[in-house]
A and B are shown apart, each in its own frame.
Chain A
């Protein structure tokens, strides 16, 4: 069983819809990352969080440490949000451990 589970695997929505992507993990972590990978293949870090909630523009990320669960929300979705969104966790080891990744959520926003 993968240590990081994402849902849904695929999501198609209409422009303007509110989007939620979920991530559950089974290990103790020091931080959780949300990454975005566009069709060109580049990976961009969206959020890194260890508690609570963060917001950047139309993107919101939340984490519940007790429940071992995080969500990524996109408000007023736009076709340019179409990408693969990847949840990744960093272990509790000292320093900056390497990430363990979910399989990703392939999001398509139709105009």
Chain B
């Protein structure tokens, strides 16, 4: 398997623009997580899905953030409108209980909002 795939790897945008980050989990994994990493706050959970259903979105910072998982092989994290404080690295990870819950991380998307 190719592992967790994220796109784009780098995104530079201007304040106010819509940003969409994409994630393809490992085939057969039924949990998908979105995390954000900043220098100030480190890694934080934003939201996670089980079988395409959002389970916990308490980490989503505000209404400008939304996430969807329309099928088992694809998820998006959208920011609209983007702000400079959204600049961070966004990681997607997937896991399956049959694997003991070990999480496999994608390479991340480095987002810069000017």
User: Is B18 close to A, CB under 8 A?
Assistant: no
What's the dominant secondary structure at chain A's contact region?
strand
Q: Which residues of B contact A30 (CB under 8 A)?
A: 101
Q: A33 touching B103 by the CB < 8 A rule?
A: yes
Contact between B50 and A95, CB atoms less than 8 A apart: yes
Which residues of chain B are within 8 angstroms of A86 by Cβ–Cβ distance? Answer: 42-43
B43 engages A101 (CB within 8 Å): yes
Using a Cβ–Cβ cut-off of 8 Å, how many residues does chain B contribute to the interface with A? Answer: 28
With beta carbons under 8 angstroms apart, the residue of B45, B96, B103 that contacts A45 is B103
Q: Which residues of B contact A88 (CB under 8 A)?
A: 43
Known contacts A31-B100, A43-B105, then 5 further A-B pairs from the complex at CB < 8 Å, ordered by chain A residue: A41-B110, A45-B102, A45-B105, A95-B31, A98-B59
A: residues with CB less than 8 A from B are: 30-31, 33, 35, 41-45, 48, 86, 88, 90, 95-104
